[in-house]
Structure 1
Amino acid sequence: MRKLLICIAIATLTALVGCVTINVYFPEAAAQKAADQFIGNVLDDSGAAPASGKEAKPQPAPGHQPSASLLDLVIPAAHAADAPDLQIRTPETDAIRARMKTRFGGQLKALFDAGSAGFTTDGLVALRDAGSLAAGQRAQADALVREENNDRDALYRAIAVANGHPEWEPRIRETFAQGWVQRALPGWYYQDASGAWKRK
């Protein structure tokens, strides 16, 4: 009888372990932190506003070890995704960041300061008021915005791929879009959720 109970217990445990699916979810907090660092680096020379501080997660008391569940003992990696890290530094993203920083340190910031350009809801840049530019300036501004948006598209894709989750690209784009607006200087334009232009 005892052997039968042990066999049933092992079979049940095996069935439970076989049914466990460890979901790989998008690490929102890590993405926000990574986006803030990247954006801050790009906009540093422009004097852009720092993002509003968020409260830090309380740390456990020194020497305090959280208790392990049976699932943790059977599948030690079950909680590995609780505090995921988001890989944002690659040679490709470093090169993109350098180009973006150069653009913002020069002509792109001037377009934002003049109100001619703004941040879009999809993490890109658009000419908001091209009519305010002279014909020669408009062609140059169009080319500048196109280069910036090509780099932004490549950046969001590269971060998703570097983390082994190309499907995260829309979420990364969304996180960066919010970050650009948070870091924008007063007077810069951005699109709200409906696509309408707002001034910060």
Structure 2
Amino acid sequence: MKTRLMKWLVVWLCGLFAACAVITVNVYFPEKAAKEAYKSLDDMLLKEGSAKPRAGENQTGHEQAAPAPKPQSGLFRELGSFSLVSVASAAESEADTLAIEMADMPEVNKAYAEMSQRLPRLTALFDSGAVGLTNQGLVTVRDKSKLSAADEGMIAAENQSRKTLVGSMAKAILKLGKQKESKGALDQVMGKAAATYAETRRDAARPGWWMQLQNGRWVQK
């Protein structure tokens, strides 16, 4: 009787461990490719005053702007079609795929269009030290006395747009890895996608801007 009970106990424990193993499987996160894709999207879609004609350009009501090319990774842009070695490395292929996948998402294009409109004022707030960049890539208030009445609402809207980009990156990564878009999988990827986005924004920050490192410490660039 004891032997049979022990066997059932062992079988039950093995089943439990197997179930836990399935639950705790890590989702692959291509950090380098994600960072390159973020940069490509910024280069292509985050344009201050992009809706306005440039000085010296003549435009008529019958003229239409040429469609923007698809985002490409930095290395791909630099090398173009000429290369002495294969540029279709795994990281580059992933970066291009992620950027193109996200560029096809309406919510990503909407977020970038709105962020472009906010860019001049947001840049001024960073320059003045009124706001800083968190280690999740969000904008936080550091000196409320330097804000105008409309700035707080603008900052909240900006952070929502940035969360949209991070969430879209997480979804694109799951699709690239042929992973089911479950809550557990998204939760695994979301934190890394946010940290990588923050790193991208730190790289693009101007000298003097306040930013939070991954360890939580605030520094000026």
Query: What TM-score does the superposition give when structure 1 sets the normalisation length?
Result: 0.62
1:172 aligns to 2:175 (yes or no): no
- AA matched with 1:158: S
Equivalenced residue count is 149
1:117 aligns to 2:131 (yes or no): yes
Matching residue of 2:70: none
After TM superposition, which residue ranges in structure 1, 4 or more long, deviate above 4 angstroms?
41-44, 59-62, 80-83
Query: Residues 45-76 of structure 1: CA distance to partner in whole angstroms, max 9, x if unpaired?
Result: 49xxxxxx88x9xx8857xxxxxxxxxxxxxx
Query: Residues 65-118 of structure 1: CA distance to partner in whole angstroms, max 9, x if unpaired?
Result: xxxxxxxxxxxxxxx89953323211211111111111113x211111111011
Q: 1:127 to 1:43 in 2, by over 3 A?
A: farther
- AA matched with 1:140: A
8 A Cα contact 1:119 1:189, kept in partner: yes
Query: What TM-score does the superposition give when structure 2 sets the normalisation length?
Result: 0.57
Q: 1:43 to 1:158 in 2, by over 3 A?
A: closer
Matching residue of 1:98: 113
Structure 2: tracts of 5 or more residues without a match:
1-25, 50-73, 176-180
Q: CA separation in 2, counterparts of 1:103 and 1:81?
A: 32
Aligned-residue Cα RMSD (Å) equals 3.2
> Does 1 or 2 have the higher relative contact order (CA < 8 Å, sep 6+)?
1
Matches within 5 A, 1:136-175: 137=148, 139-163=149-173, 164=175, 166=186, 167-175=188-196
Secondary structure of 2:196's counterpart equals helix
- Percentage of matched positions with identical amino acids: 34
1:182 aligns to 2:182 (yes or no): no
Q: CA separation in 1, counterparts of 2:168 and 2:92?
A: 23
Structure 1: tracts of 5 or more residues without a match:
1-22, 47-52, 63-79
Matches within 5 A, 1:67-106: 83-84=93-94, 85-86=97-98, 87-89=101-103, 90-105=105-120
- AA matched with 1:190: M
Q: CA separation in 2, counterparts of 1:144 and 1:88?
A: 24
Matching residue of 1:28: 31
8 A Cα contact 2:45 2:109, kept in partner: no
